[in-house]
Amino acid sequence: MRAAFFSPLGRAWKKFCFYFRDKLLFPVTSRIVCSQLESKRFHDYMLRKQGRSWLNYLQRVSNPLESLSMISHYEGFDVPETFSQVYQNNSWGDSESKSGPGSRLEETKAVRAVLPELLRRYEVRDFVDIPCGDWNWMKTVDLDSLCYHGGDIVPELIEENRKKFGGGNRSFEVIDLIAGPLPAGDLLLCRDCLVHLSFQDIGRFLEHLHRSGLRYLLTTTFTDRKSNDDIVTGNWRRINLEIAPFHFPEPLERIVEGSTERRNKDSDKCLALWEVGQLPKQLHGRG
């Protein structure tokens, strides 16, 4: 029987099975699932059968990307390799920016409106931006009066930015926030980054930050979050930097981003500004 499976007829049958699964069965099954999820009759039926538990399930899976880990696709890769693969494969699946939906012009509208004035108010001359991403939104910000230094862990992205946007007062360099060192400057913008790092790697970042001579840190925090979860670097979760294990003090300022990328679940998402000298040099306790 085993020999027959590896015969020409057996190989043809195996090839047909794969073709049926990938070319015929999957598209049909996908259409059936989508049609049911868009059907009021189907949801009425499930509510009758499962009641509140069906509503709880829908709420839990309403944004499936929230529970996905980028690193699960790149097991065995180190951190730079992981994020390089995410960039090369556009793993975030966003049509506007390979840096993800948070880098869309619409999602950065509030930040772009406030950032230039904030930089002037704190007399920022040397502006450091890590990770700088693909510069989808930063290219619209007036930086003519500043010395801009963009950094990212993905070499291909940095090379692309140099070709498109480098020169004059703008420079781009491969920088790993975890491995360090960080460049000196007046202010570091670190948007949508620490949310992807483990507690241990955020601790390493803080060590490099204090050694850098940077005066201010402007970074992402979620002010309504009541606890913080640890992750493997490359995954994602919301973090509140003012509670354990970070214990950052009250920030100097907050920019409420008005995020809509997760169906308005992140209305508390902010960029908050701190003096580096007031931040902890290491983490204490658990999230």
- In the predicted model, residues of the chain with pLDDT beneath 70 are 1-16, 18-26, 28, 52, 55-56, 58-77, 90-93, 263, 285-287
Asked if residue 226 and residue 137 are part of one domain, the reply reads: yes
Does some domain include residue 135? yes
What pLDDT, on a 0 to 100 scale, did the predictor assign at position 68? 47
What pLDDT, on a 0 to 100 scale, did the predictor assign at position 51? 72
What pLDDT, on a 0 to 100 scale, did the predictor assign at position 42? 82
3-state secondary structure the chain: CHHHHCCHHHHHHHHHHHHHHHHHHHHHHHHHHHHHHCCHHHHHHHHHHHCHHHHHHHHHCCCHHHHCCHHHHHCCCCHHHHHHHHHHCCCCCCCCCCCCHHHCCCCCHHHHHHHHHHHHHCCCCEEEECCCCCCCCHHHCCCCCCEEEEEECCHHHHHHHHHHHCECCEEEEECCCCCCCCCCCCEEEECCCHHHCCHHHHHHHHHHHHHHCCCEEEEEEECCCCCCCCCCECECCCCCCCCCCCCCCCCCEEEECCCCCCCCCCCCEEEEEEEHHHCCCCCCCCC
Asked if residue 128 and residue 182 are part of one domain, the reply reads: yes
pLDDT tens, residue by residue, 189-231: 999 999 999 999 999 999 999 999 999 999 999 999 999 999 9
What pLDDT, on a 0 to 100 scale, did the predictor assign at position 31? 74
Does some domain include residue 87? no
What pLDDT, on a 0 to 100 scale, did the predictor assign at position 5? 47
Asked if residue 138 and residue 50 are part of one domain, the reply reads: no
Does some domain include residue 259? yes
Asked if residue 111 and residue 31 are part of one domain, the reply reads: no
What pLDDT, on a 0 to 100 scale, did the predictor assign at position 175? 96
Q: Domains in the chain: how many in total?
A: 2
